[in-house]
Amino acid sequence: MRFGETRVMMKTDKIPEATIMRMTVYSRYIEHLRQQDVATISSFDIAEGAGVSSAQVRKDLAYFGEFGTRGVGYNVDELCGHIRRILGLSQEWPSVLVGAGKLGSALALYEGFNMRGFHIVGVFDEDPDPIGNRFGSIDVLPMGELEKVIENENVKIGIITVPAVAAQEVAERLVSAGVKAILNFSPYVFNLPEDIIVRHVDFSLYLEVLTFSLTYGKK
């Protein structure tokens, strides 16, 4: 049984998860520069934008092979595409969300998902009350349709925002229907097959990073 953030183990064990997290941040910054028609950047520029050292940037990028020209830097267009491919963003990832409560509806309406190419194809709930509602363009559907939608839309990603007591059952249904990766907002830690990728979002972790900084860091 494993707890929280660091639970996800890559099959490619050599690549630290922290590197992947930083790659997502680099990606945002570099795409921001591309929109401003910047053609070339150095690891120093990326480092400055992401708030890390340039040595860290070079080390992170090096996990994925050689790109960039010494003394010239990186071509912004190429680097954008390269990182998006690494992160799996060059393909579409239809997702389902289970739990149409406050958090579920906030996530269904979350602009950041569409901005990064994620598309929620259905929100599901046990409760008949929200069924038939729409969050933006997304229908709230009964749980009875979960398996059908996952199969028809070839969904590999499930997002869970149900109460803790229902989370394990929902996770098992997702996995049985073909979901391979779960983003879990419930406080429950799942017991699932080893090959299922689970990422747990615990909002209080973020607050603890703040209180550490306020206390120990005395920033």
Shortest distance (Å) from residue 39 CB to a second copy: 19
Q: Which is nearer to a second copy, 69 or 92 (CB)?
A: 92
Structure tokens at 124: 């599901």
The reply on whether position 69 binds a second copy by CB under 8 A is no
> What count of other Cβ atoms lies within 10 Å of the Cβ of residue 13?
7
Which of 52, 121, 131, 143 binds a second copy (CB under 8 A)? It is 52
Nearer to a second copy, 152 or 213 (CB): 213
Verify binding: residue 14, a second copy, rule CB under 8 A.
no
HEC letters along 76-91: HHHHHHHHHHHCCCCC
Cα–chain-centroid distance for residue 50? 18
Q: Interface with a second copy by CB under 8 A: which range of 67-75, 97-105, 124-132, 136-144?
A: 97-105
18 near a second copy, rule: CB under 8 A: yes
Count the neighbouring beta carbons within 10 Å of the beta carbon of residue 86: 18
Q: Is 154 in the site for a second copy (CB under 8 A)?
A: no
Amino acid at 24: T
In this chain, which of 4, 132, 136, 178 binds a second copy, going by CB under 8 A?
4
Site string for a second copy, 108-137 (x = CB under 8 A): -xxxxx-xx-x-------------------
Indicate whether 153 belongs to the interface with a second copy (CB under 8 A).
no
Count of residues that bind a second copy according to CB under 8 A: 80
Q: How far is CA 48 from CA 38, 86, 140, in A?
A: 15, 22, 42
Distance CA 105, CA 60 (A): 35
Sole window of 1-9, 37-45, 145-153, 168-176 interacting with a second copy (rule: CB under 8 A)? 1-9
Looking at the Cβ atoms of 66 and 72, the one nearer to a second copy is 66
Closest distance to a second copy from the beta carbon of 71 (Å): 25
